């Protein structure tokens, strides 16, 4: 090849590179035109639970925004691990999503041989809602507020018990965090779900638990139980008269159950961005937002997928420390 031909060939290469640069990077295969068919959202809990209910509120508006139907598929079991493992192995094309829950982050520390890694195997899309707990006790317990409860526990280490929805559940760790921060001791009694745990609080068999506000409001009104504080950093609009734990005597305390949306790792960024936008806009819808706030739940979408990734990491580190302090690691 002559020098002239080499120069001409080099110029063609340069022109081709410039043309690609001017035209922008093409979207990965499958990202263009997304979504073109039905999306499956795997909820790792039974129908009727908090996670399931929250996404059935969001789904109609989100489906409308995306222009495709989202079908909710319940795959409960093993504290959410069955559904998570299924989605972790799904094709990263945006058509199989997971309703991530705070338990998935906790499971990484509490359980052995988890078949997925919550940070490695998923592409974060957005947080959806925050669900504060409310610390409740039988009306007969001789402590009218949180400071009196802490004093009672310090005077009687290990005498009183607390209930939860199960070992390593968020309702369990919310109390463990409180005990760690106040230097108090109680005996943990795990139940098979929130309802039986709360029933024993009503009956006076259990001294304390963290429950969902929506489930205890009527009992508070009737005077059957006493509410000490909500676990969020701010008071709940659904119960503005109940102080936060921090206000009631434990500065810096905050513990929230939360839900969010993730896709399998490797899902194209363009698809993740489109899903993130749909979640945010759905939660900004007045009807959707008002529905949650009325029930004591806070719509709280992430500003970006990266922000949700950072939130997941922070929660994983926070609760791993609580799990270790409580001696629950690897249970």
- In this model, does residue 309 exceed pLDDT 60? yes
> Residue 49: its pLDDT value, please?
80
Annotation: CATH topology of 39-131+256-325: D-Maltodextrin-Binding Protein; domain 2 (3.40.190)
The two domains 39-131+256-325 and 132-248 share their CATH topology (first three levels equal): yes
30 pLDDT tier (thresholds 50, 70, 90): low
- In this model, does residue 140 exceed pLDDT 50? yes
Q: What is the mean pLDDT of residues 217-236?
A: 91
Q: What is the mean pLDDT of residues 227-232?
A: 96
In order, the DSSP letters of 243-291 are PBHHHHT-TT---EEEEEEEEETT--HHHHHHHHHHHHHHHHSHHHHHH
Q: How far apart are CA 164 and CA 329, in angstroms?
A: 17
Give the start-to-end residue ranges of the domains of the chain.
39-131+256-325, 132-248
pTM for the model: 0.83
Reference 134, options 214, 249, 222; nearest CA is 214
Asked if the 132-248 domain carries CATH number 3.30.70.920, the reply is no
Q: What is the mean pLDDT of residues 72-90?
A: 94
């Amino acid at each position: 090849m002559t020098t002239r031909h080499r120069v001409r060939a080099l110029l063609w290469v340069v022109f081709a590179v410039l043309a690609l640069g001017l035209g922008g990077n093409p979207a990965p295969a499958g990202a263009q035109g997304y979504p073109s068919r039905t999306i499956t959202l795997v909820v790792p809990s039974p129908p009727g639970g908090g996670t399931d209910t929250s996404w059935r509120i969001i789904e109609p508006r989100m489906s409308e925004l995306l222009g495709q139907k989202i079908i909710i598929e319940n795959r409960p079991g093993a504290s959410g691990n069955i559904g998570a493992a299924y989605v972790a192995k799904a094709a990263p094309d945006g058509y199989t999503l997971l309703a991530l829950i705070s338990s998935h982050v906790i499971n990484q520390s509490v359980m052995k041989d988890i078949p997925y890694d919550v940070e490695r195997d998923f592409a974060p899309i957005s947080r959806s809602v925050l669900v504060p707990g409310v610390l409740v006790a039988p009306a007969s317990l001789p402590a009218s507020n949180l400071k009196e409860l802490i004093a009672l526990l310090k005077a009687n280490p290990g005498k009183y018990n607390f209930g939860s929805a199960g070992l390593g559940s968020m309702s369990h760790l919310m109390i463990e965090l409180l005990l760690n921060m106040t230097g108090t001791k109680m005996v943990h009694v795990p139940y098979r779900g929130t309802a039986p745990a709360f029933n024993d609080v009503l009956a006076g068999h259990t001294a304390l638990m963290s429950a969902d506000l929506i489930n205890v409001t009527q009992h508070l009104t009737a005077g059957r139980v006493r509410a000490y504080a909500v676990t969020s950093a701010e008071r709940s609009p659904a119960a503005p008269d109940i102080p936060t734990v921090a206000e009631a005597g434990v500065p810096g305390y905050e513990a929230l159950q939360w839900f969010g949306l993730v896709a399998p790792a490797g899902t194209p960024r363009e698809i993740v961005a489109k899903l993130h936008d749909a979640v945010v806009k759905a939660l900004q819808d007045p009807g959707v937002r008002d529905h949650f706030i009325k029930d004591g739940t806070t719509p709280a979408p992430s500003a970006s997928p990266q922000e949700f990734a950072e939130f997941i990491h922070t929660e994983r580190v926070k609760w791993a420390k609580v799990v270790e302090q409580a001696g629950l690691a690897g249970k």
